[in-house]
Structure 1
Amino acid sequence: MSGDCAELYQLLDAYVDGELSAGECEQLKSHLVECPSCLSEYERDALLKALVRRSCQCEEAPSTLRAQILTRISTFASDGQTFRSTTVTTVTELD
């Protein structure tokens, strides 16, 4: 694994989850076009996420769990730490 691969590999999960900035997405996309090994890892991760989403589609998260998650996000945000808005979108998609 090259230095670029090791660095960009750390971004794959965030990429699959749609949590990267536009610049990070472009950097990773360019790398995936040129690197079959990383592309394979990306495809595996994307497939796994799709399978989990499909298998859990009929399950609804308990309202207490959703409330706890949203409270933690609010606490995290109010502490002055940054987070991407897609995190909130992903959590609210549990409804």
Structure 2
Amino acid sequence: MSHTHEQAEGEVSARECADFLEQIVYLIDNELDAADCAAVRAHIDTCNPCLEKYDLQRTVKAVVARSCSEVAPSELRGKILLGLTRAKIEIEEG
């Protein structure tokens, strides 16, 4: 879904929105410096389409984080380790 709106004073272009959207993941992961963090937050506070995308990214990240907290059964882990060991041996014997 593209984000377009008429350029008025104080509004940003769709290209600028795209630049901010690229930084949202880093914002969520706390990987932006203070100045960039403030700029991205200021933008999403005034741009509803970007705020919606930010909320969606945050929700997806939270769901994935919850899903990744489960531990694979030991039998499955053993099969995977065995498969990795076999693959390593095949590569080494080439």
Q: TM-score per shorter chain, which class?
A: 0.5 to 0.7
SS in 2 for 1:10: helix
Q: State the SS of the aligned residue for 1:18.
A: coil
Q: Percent identity?
A: 30
Equivalent pairs, count? 61
Give 1:81's aligned residue. none
Question: Displacement, 1:13?
Answer: 1.1
Structure 1 unaligned residues grouped into runs of 5+: 63-95
Which residue pairs with 1:48 in the alignment?
Answer: 60
Q: How does 1:1-95 map to 2 (within 5 A)?
A: 1=3, 2-59=14-71
Structure 2 length-normalised TM? 0.59
How far 1:49 sits from its partner (Å)?
0.4
Residues 3-40 of structure 1, C-alpha deviations (whole Å, 9 max, x = no match): 32021111011111111111111000000110000000
TM-score, normalised by the number of residues in structure 1: 0.58
- For 2:64 and 2:15, how far apart are their aligned partners in 1? 31
Structure number with larger C-alpha Rg: 2
Structure-1 separation of matches of 2:42 and 2:54: 13
Q: Which amino acid aligns with 1:24?
A: D
Per-residue CA shift, 1:24-66, capped at 9, x if unaligned?
1100000011000000000000000000111111237x8xxxx
Q: What is the root-mean-square deviation in Å for CA atoms of aligned residues? A: 1.7
